[in-house]
């Protein structure tokens, strides 16, 4: 029964390692660390020296400002230099141009044998680099006014790289001059065509105006102007008559208000009437309370009412002037009512005094009757004046309708001649603007023909590089060595994790929890030990020798091929 019972594995958590344990791990697995590190060094040296050199030839171009200031002769170029450089770069790195460069200089011979031509063109396009330099700024505009950029080409042959870079710089200068000249010519041709079309349109309008005058020779423009002046005069007269009628109505309302006030005084001065057969006298009606401020408010209300009436005769109810006058009238009436209520509440004694004076039965004075008669005569005179003004207004409106019918019937009024003259004026203005722009464009094109516009010049010509731009051999070797060392350390710790044996007294005490009284060293056969050491020495010697031979071969190959 005991033999048939299988022992279950026991999971034990590893103890925490200290510095001595890490040192012991490195000592036990030093071969697994040194081997990959040495392999990384060998691989880095071989790769670094077998990697062919790449030389970078560079030249600088700068933009030369125009010889003539742009404030005197405007350029036909609308895009900035950075945009034009990008456009020229796209033309230079086109498939056709790059194939011509590859064939003329016999570039990439090995790659052309094993790769399609499109892949070779793409490889060359990556080797061409355009990098702008920082331009100097001025205090006027704050923009880059002096622009420079670098043209670079990377290739394994330093002399071919310099020649190709020189060709690229020449193409940049040629393309810049050609594109500026062609764009300036196209702009000038465009303005010439537009100016010619505007001149034809202006000539056609002149012919239409001449034909219109010939077909309407009986009606002169001076007569049409005189007719329009008469219409304007009649409209002004109508406006003045409306204002006179409004003023007369206002004055009439003021006279009527004064007349009502005097009549109220006359009524208040009469004695109360007694009822027959009754001992008590019937009191007179309560007099109306009057005040100078109240009379002034009544006059203003009457004036606004007359103004509203005059405006309604000339405009509709929805007209802004009518609405504004109605608002003022409503506000003024509200002020008058409030003041009348306040006056009636604050002067009861004055009202009762007037009532007693009326009850005393005194008759109105002769002066009061005379003033009432004078006001009645003045009101009648205003009525006659208003009637006369209305007759004049009706006559002026009839005259205006007659003139308007003549204006509408005239062929030169607003329908044909005015429209033609307006079109002719617009066409003439457009032709003058285009003619001015055409002249400026011709001057800009002449400036480009004389090579006095904005041009490119070589700031620094390309020189044959003395040192390769790539690869960075020390960096490659260092990266490979670090990668090999990290690989070795990873292998060492991986083997340590897989090894579960007890390696030291610390492991025995930690995992068995027993007291260790002594230890017996591992006894091995001397012959076996010497043999194992000899095999390890031979393996390491062979590996080191092979590594040194590989690195030496790569270095020798690099310098022999370089020569």
DSSP 63: E
Sign of CA dihedral 296, 301, 306, 308: positive
Residue 355: the pLDDT is 46
Note every long-range contact of 489-495, with CB atoms under 8 Å and residues 24 or more positions apart, other chains counting. 489/33, 491/29, 491/32, 491/33, 491/36, 492/25, 492/26, 492/29, 492/32, 492/33, 493/25, 495/29, 495/32
Residue 343: the pLDDT is 67
Rg (CA), the chain: 57
Distance between CA 401 and CA 231 in Å, rounded?
9
Percentages helix, strand, coil for the chain (3-state, rounded to 5) are 70, 5, 25
Angle at 224 between CA 219 and CA 230, to 5 degrees: 140
Q: Contact at 8 Å (CB) between 166 and 462?
A: yes
Q: Contact at 8 Å (CB) between 386 and 245?
A: yes
Greatest C-alpha distance within the chain:
174
3-state SS class at 514: coil
Sign of CA dihedral 343, 347, 348, 352: negative
Sign of CA dihedral 205, 210, 213, 214: negative
Residue 218: the pLDDT is 41
Helix axes 81-92, 158-215, angle to 10 degrees: 120
Residue 137: the pLDDT is 45
Residue 42: the pLDDT is 92
Record the pTM.
Answer: 0.49
Cβ-proximal residues to 345 (8 Å cutoff; 6+ apart), any chain: none
Domain range list for the chain: 19-50+471-562, 55-196+442-460, 221-271+288-410
Cβ-proximal residues to 137 (8 Å cutoff; 6+ apart), any chain: 143, 144, 145
Pairing of strands 144-155, 128-137: antiparallel
Distance between CA 280 and CA 508 in Å, rounded?
144
Distance of CA 517 to the CA centre of its chain: 87
Pairing of strands 455-460, 128-137: unpaired
Distance between CA 303 and CA 305 in Å, rounded?
5
Residue 39: the pLDDT is 92
494: region left, alpha or beta (phi > 0 left; psi from -120 to 50 alpha)? alpha
Residue 301: the pLDDT is 76
Nearest CA to 248 out of 399, 378, 372, 397 is that of: 378
Nearest CA to 313 out of 361, 207, 241 is that of: 241
Sign of CA dihedral 443, 444, 445, 449: positive
Q: How far is CA 66 from CA 34, 143, 439, in A?
A: 67, 16, 19
> What strands lie across the sheet with 455-460, from one edge to the other?
128-137, 144-155, 55-64, 455-460
Q: Contact at 8 Å (CB) between 284 and 301?
A: no
Residue 447: the pLDDT is 75
**Following CA atoms 213, 216, 217, 222 in sequence, which dihedral angle do they give, to the nearest 10 degrees?**
-80
Nearest CA to 147 out of 481, 457, 563, 553 is that of: 457
Q: Contact at 8 Å (CB) between 444 and 73?
A: yes
Burial of 485 (0-12, 13-18, 19+ CB in 10 A): middle
**Following CA atoms 225, 226, 231, 235 in sequence, which dihedral angle do they give, to the nearest 10 degrees?**
100
3-state SS class at 83: helix
Q: Could you list the pLDDT tens digit for every one of the 563 residues in the chain?
A: 444 445 555 555 666 777 777 788 888 888 888 889 899 999 999 998 888 888 899 998 888 777 777 677 777 666 666 677 888 888 888 999 999 999 999 999 988 888 899 999 999 999 998 887 755 444 344 444 447 889 999 998 889 999 999 999 998 888 888 877 788 888 888 888 888 898 898 888 888 878 776 665 445 455 566 667 777 788 888 888 888 888 888 777 777 877 777 777 777 665 544 444 444 444 444 444 456 777 777 777 777 777 777 777 777 777 777 777 777 877 877 777 777 767 666 654 444 444 444 444 444 466 777 777 777 777 777 788 788 888 888 888 888 877 776 666 565 545 667 777 788 888 888 888 888 888 888 887 887 777 777 778 888 899 888 888 888 889 999 999 999 999 988 888 888 778 766 666 676 666 677 676 666 666 667 777 788 888 888 888 888 899 899 999 988 988 887 65
């Amino acid at each position: 029964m005991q033999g048939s019972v299988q022992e279950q594995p026991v999971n034990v958590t590893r103890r925490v390692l200290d510095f001595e344990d890490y040192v012991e791990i490195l000592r036990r697995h030093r071969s697994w660390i040194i081997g990959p590190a040495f392999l990384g060094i060998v691989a880095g040296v071989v790769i670094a020296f077998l990697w062919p050199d790449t030389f970078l030839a560079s030249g600088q171009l700068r933009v030369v400002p125009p010889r003539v200031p742009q404030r005197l002769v405007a350029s036909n170029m609308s895009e900035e230099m950075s945009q034009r450089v990008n456009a020229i770069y796209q033309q230079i790195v086109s498939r056709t141009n790059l194939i011509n460069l590859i064939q003329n200089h016999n570039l990439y011979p090995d790659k052309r044998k094993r790769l399609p031509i499109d892949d070779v063109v793409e490889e060359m396009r990556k080797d061409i680099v355009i990098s702008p330099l920082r331009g100097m700024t001025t205090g006027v505009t704050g923009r880059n006014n002096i622009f420079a950029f670098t043209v670079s080409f990377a290739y394994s042959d330093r002399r071919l790289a310099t020649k190709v870079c020189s060709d690229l710089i020449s193409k940049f200068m040629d393309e810049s001059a050609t594109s500026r000249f062609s764009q300036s010519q196209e702009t000038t041709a465009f303005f010439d065509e537009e100016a010619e079309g505007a001149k034809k349109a202006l000539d056609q309008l002149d012919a239409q105006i001449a034909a219109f005058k010939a077909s309407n020779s009986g009606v002169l423009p001076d007569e049409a102007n005189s007719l329009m002046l008469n219409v304007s005069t009649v409209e002004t007269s109508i406006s003045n008559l409306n204002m006179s009628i409004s003023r007369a109505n206002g004055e009439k309302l003021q006279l009527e208000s004064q007349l009502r006030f005097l009549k109220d005084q006359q009524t208040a001065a009469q004695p109360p009437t007694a009822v027959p057969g009754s001992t008590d006298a019937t009191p007179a009606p309560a007099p109306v309370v009057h005040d100078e401020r109240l009379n002034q408010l009544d006059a203003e209300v009457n004036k606004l009412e007359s103004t509203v009436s005059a405006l309604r005769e000339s405009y509709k109810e929805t007209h802004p002037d009518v609405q504004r006058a109605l608002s003022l009238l409503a506000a003024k009436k509200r002020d008058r009512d409030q003041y009348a209520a306040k006056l009636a509440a604050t002067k009861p004694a004055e009202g009762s005094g007037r009532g007693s004076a009326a009850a005393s039965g005194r008759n109105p004075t002769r002066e009061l009757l005379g003033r009432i008669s004078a006001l009645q005569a003045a009101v009648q005179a205003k009525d006659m004046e208003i009637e006369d003004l209305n007759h004049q207004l009706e006559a002026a409106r009839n005259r205006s309708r007659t003139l308007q019918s003549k204006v509408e019937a005239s062929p030169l009024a607003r329908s044909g001649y005015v429209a033609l003259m307006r079109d002719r004026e617009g066409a003439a203005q457009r032709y003058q603007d285009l003619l001015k722009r055409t002249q400026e464009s011709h001057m800009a094109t002449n400036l480009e023909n004389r090579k006095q516009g904005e041009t490119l010049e070589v700031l620094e010509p390309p020189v044959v590089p003395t040192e390769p731009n790539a690869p960075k051999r020390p960096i490659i070797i260092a990266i490979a060595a670090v990668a090999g060392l990290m690989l070795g350390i990873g292998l060492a710790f991986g083997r340590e994790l897989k090894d579960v044996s007890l390696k030291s007294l610390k492991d025995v005490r930690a995992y068995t929890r027993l007291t260790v009284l002594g230890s017996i060293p591992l006894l091995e056969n001397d012959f076996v030990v010497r043999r194992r050491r000899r095999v390890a020495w031979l393996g390491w010697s062979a590996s080191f020798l092979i590594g040194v031979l590989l690195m030496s071969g790569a270095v020798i190959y690099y310098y022999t091929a370089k020569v």
